[in-house]
Structure 1
Amino acid sequence: MTDRSPLRTLAQTTLVAAGLLVASQSVAHQLWMEPTDEGLAMYYGYLDRNLREVSPGRLDEIVVPRADRITDSGSEAVAISNEGDHLALDTSPDAPVLLVFDNGQVYENERDGETVGTHWTMATRYAPQNDEPAEPRLDFDIVPTGEPGAFRVTLHGDPVDSGHTVRLSTEYGWTMDRRTEDDGVVTFPSLPWQGVYAVASRHNVAEAGTRERILADGGTETIDHDRRGFVTTLTFRKTEGREPLPPLPKSAPYEEGVRAQ
């Protein structure tokens, strides 16, 4: 077995010496897409741990996702199928795609001594050309700006405040956290290796309302929420640069019933 840790240690040491921050905390369970010979594969788990949920199992939590291929005239729905270790999207890997998962679930927790219900939405965007600018379309979105390594984070189309944490991840365990500037832009000055990169962030805002929750029998019920939570990931494949480091060994999927957030 190849010893990967010296390579990762060298890479991290070089980046820290350059004044960059290697992240220490995870964003949360997330969705991300990777190109395949047939189209796109959507995974659910942690890219930086090489943890990919399966079906039967936690992948089955992704009920009724919606995927759309972005076109010059708007968008087109993309067919999705469950392949056991990922969801397959019937689309060209050269097309930008959005996928949103929202089952209306509201999670309750204590906040300032009160019980608060937060409605979470997970989403992922695939950008085949991460150096081409894109317009935000998701409620909480991450889009390429057209500048190398620079991405804009938006909430309802407007840039998020400065200081918002964004994480860059790879399947070989290398991660970096950076913070947004006043215009919502976050910049990762170095993307040295070929391979898949995931740019992810989460946000939680006071935004009361109601949602339709999908039930196990396929029905729905209306449920109130006090806040909105978002976990969004932008993924892309870099084809130039250094040879990618070997991926980490696959992590075991989580047990069923453990909450994603």
Structure 2
Amino acid sequence: MTILLKTFIHTACCAALIASGTAQAHYLWIESGDSGARLYYGEPDALLKEKSPGKLDNIKSPKAFVQDTPSGKPGAVTISRAAEYFAIANNKGTPAILAVEESLEVRDLTKHGLGFAKSNYYARYGQAATDSSASPLVLDIHGSGPNKLAVVYRGQPLKDAKLEVIAPNTWMQEHKTDAQGAVHINTPWRGQYVVHVLHIDQAPGEFSGKKYDSLRNHLTYTFTKADGSDPGPAVPPKHEMD
């Protein structure tokens, strides 16, 4: 590929990409490890991975699953805490790995104008789903082709959901789903991408005897693109961490 063509592709892509200049809430995402997979907590766009002792300890009881086929029923696997991540056993090399953390307590976020909120975290690695009924992820992503995704919540398409797509070099693009929950993203570079969705369910409820005003559901979908342009170095944006 000529330098001119590389420059054109980079310029065109950057027009659609947004450098992440403001801090986002922490969430979970999965990456491939030497043996199995690793569940991280932090901000991938800032190259921030929390540790234990530290904020990683805020994640109390995550559960992990592997899925042999996109439509198959996931099976529970062992997940264990390490100093910088949770190790997920995946000796079978299955195409999809899932994680769920729904044990976090209700938090008082009234000083931020968010009332009392309950946060849930969902993470997917590898293949996107094809059947919501087989997934333990209340908030999930379906795939229908290269760069074609759909967001579902409780098995139904999620309209106007905002996706943040974090590229291998930490550039971030934002998209919004259509009426069918579908969206088309851009993946110009080779390497790992992390898709993040935050869906706030305004239906009040109760968890462990405490009432909440809303559910803050975070979903990440991590996948690796083998082809594409060289992404260059990963440089985190300059912003304050939460």
TM-score normalised to structure 1 length:
0.77
Alpha-carbon offset, residue 28 of structure 1: 2.2
1:32·1:43 contact (CA, 8 Å) conserved in 2? Answer: yes
1:12·1:22 contact (CA, 8 Å) conserved in 2? Answer: no
Secondary structure at the counterpart of residue 213 of structure 2: strand
2:148·2:184 contact (CA, 8 Å) conserved in 1? Answer: yes
Alpha-carbon offset, residue 10 of structure 1: 7.8
1:182 is aligned to: 179
In structure 1, stretches of 5+ residues that fail to align are 1-8, 213-221
1:64·1:103 contact (CA, 8 Å) conserved in 2? Answer: yes
Matched, 1:77 2:76: yes
Q: Which of 218, 224, 237 is 2:224 aligned to?
A: 237
Pair 1:247–1:176, CA change in 2 (3 A) = same
Give the letter aligned to residue 99 of structure 1.
Answer: A
Q: Which of 23, 26, 33 is 1:29 aligned to?
A: 26
Alpha-carbon offset, residue 62 of structure 1: 1.1
* Matched-pair identity in %: 29
Deviation per CA, 1:174-233: give whole Å up to 9, x if none. Answer: 110011111101111x31222110111101122222213xxxxxxxxx222222110110
Give the letter aligned to residue 153 of structure 1.
Answer: V
In the alignment of these two chains, the number of paired residues is: 228
Q: Structure 2: how far apart are the matches of 1:81 and 1:75?
A: 18
Q: Structure 2: how far apart are the matches of 1:56 and 1:62?
A: 11
TM-score normalised to structure 2 length:
0.82
Q: Structure 1: how far apart are the matches of 2:42 and 2:188?
A: 24
RMSD: 2.8
Pair 1:21–1:249, CA change in 2 (3 A) = closer
2:44 is aligned to: 47
Give the letter aligned to residue 174 of structure 1.
Answer: W
1:166 is aligned to: 163
In structure 2, stretches of 5+ residues that fail to align are 1-6
Pair 1:12–1:224, CA change in 2 (3 A) = farther
* Mapping 1:58-69, distance limit 5 Å: 58-69=55-66
Give the letter aligned to residue 120 of structure 1.
Answer: S
Alpha-carbon offset, residue 41 of structure 1: 1.0
Secondary structure at the counterpart of residue 64 of structure 1: coil
1:152 is aligned to: 150
Secondary structure at the counterpart of residue 59 of structure 1: helix
